[in-house]
Amino acid sequence: MGFLHPLNTDVQAPERFTYPFCYEPHPLCEMAAKEVQTYIATHVEIKEDADRGKMFGVLVVECDGVNGELGFLAAYSGLLAGRNDWEYFVPPVYDAQQPDGHFKTMEREISRLSRETSSTSNASSTRGLSQDLQLWLFHQYQLLNARGESKDLVDIWQSYYNKEKLRRKFPLPPGGTGDCCAPKLLQYAYQQHLKPVCMAEFWWGQSTKEELRQHGNFYPACRGKCKPILTWMMEGLDVDDNPEMQGFPHLEVKTIYEDDNLLVVDKPSGMLSTPGRVEEYSVETVMRQRYPDAIIAHRLDMWTSGLLIVAKSLEVYHSLQEQFVKHQVKKRYIAVLEYLENLDVLEKKGRISLSLRPDPMNRPRQIVDYEHGKRAITDYEFLNENTVALYPQTGRTHQLRIHCAHPEGLGRPIKGDELYGTKADRLYLHAEQIWFRHPVTGEEMHLVSPIPFL
């Protein structure tokens, strides 16, 4: 099998297959990824295209009937240098790129009709033809699972989103579904009777301006396109538990300030501000054990530490919210940035303005989108080469993390940012200071929290 590559090692295989949406890469996958990276680096045409930014994946497999020997398969998402037939990488689930195939033939015909007509009715007709062709294509993706069962993309999608409300929201897969690394790898393994052992995906090349990726870093499979597919394809495999469903340590919440109306507390990294879908334990639940009417006045990301204001009553909460809406609350965060070679020279002080919106295909990631995103503004001041004070003027999700990591921002991810940079022992971002007006006394309040990582 030309797509199966040997993996000569004494490293033990894991007991269960990778949960692909939240994982630490197994050493076997790291070894396989290094071999793929060497291959990319030594093949000019592949490297030139990959350098622009591409996701690659590896699947370690046990070779049936070969004394349990291990090998690995490699794949890339979408096309690579305009092709999907590179000999080192597994083939696509369905090859829609054949010049004389039905898809390409109809695509050319629809393009011809579109050029030749300008009337509204004919434009509607070509749009209908295009939608029919896309639906036809989805039906060609016959995806296997570990039991040897097969379903096409439409059936998989509608079985996954089986509730009426969800089906209306997600009636059909997005374009490109089925062409990511993971479905290609599992499909080929099942076709060749290879037993999946572990899997990982890594980014090669430049980060795109929309979604931030770091060269060589491992990333989970995308949720928007791949969650329904992989849920089906992994049926029959013994898969690791979802780490996100296992809860988190119950950490201590320190009080920085307290009176009869409110508290200011110091949230530790790794703790939710408010209850999540899975994890109930949070700053708010802890506060409500002491004060039943307590409400968190604002939020911090789970992995960000620092100051949070807690109202002891609904009246105080509404007064604080009014200050947030009018941008009367000021905050200062301290971040340690990743060290990068060949750093661009940045002004010691400045302002970053990048509009943000959620990435529906990869929640909870956010992306830069000047057309559809919401305005996000951060002022910054470098305290030394790697440490920066951040003053958010707006409060968008992951605003500080993206404004640091994005090439049009500081161009340096915050240390420990596994979404937009490289994972470490924690996210090195701390809400150090906060200024606000006391909602009852009118006193100008200024609280400070010690920085835990400096």
Catalytic residues: 301
> By the 8 A CB rule, do 66 and 194 touch?
no
Nearest to 375 by CA among 347, 411, 403: 403
What does the alpha-carbon distance between residue 287 and residue 311 come to, in Å, rounded to a whole number? 10
How far is residue 61's CA from residue 71's CA, in Å, rounded to a whole number? 5
Placement of tokens 């949720």 in the chain? 223
CA torsion angle 399 404 405 411 (round to 10) = 140
Nearest to 311, CA basis, from 328, 298, 325: 298
In this structure, how many other beta carbons lie within 10 angstroms of the beta carbon of residue 221? 26
Distance CA 263, CA 278 (A): 26
Given a contact cutoff of 8 angstroms between Cβ atoms, the answer to whether 15 and 76 are in contact is no
| Cα–Cα distance for residue pair 64/1, rounded to 1 Å | 12
Give the Cα separation of 260 and 248 in Å (integer): 31
**DSSP H helical ranges for 192-272:** 223-233
For residue 415, how far is the Cα from the chain centroid? 17
Q: Is 227 exposed, middle or buried (0-12, 13-18, 19+ CB in 10 A)?
A: middle
For residue 429, the Cα-to-chain-centroid distance in whole angstroms is 19
Burial label, 438 (beta-carbon count in 10 A; 0-12, 13-18, 19+): middle
Amino acid at 184: K
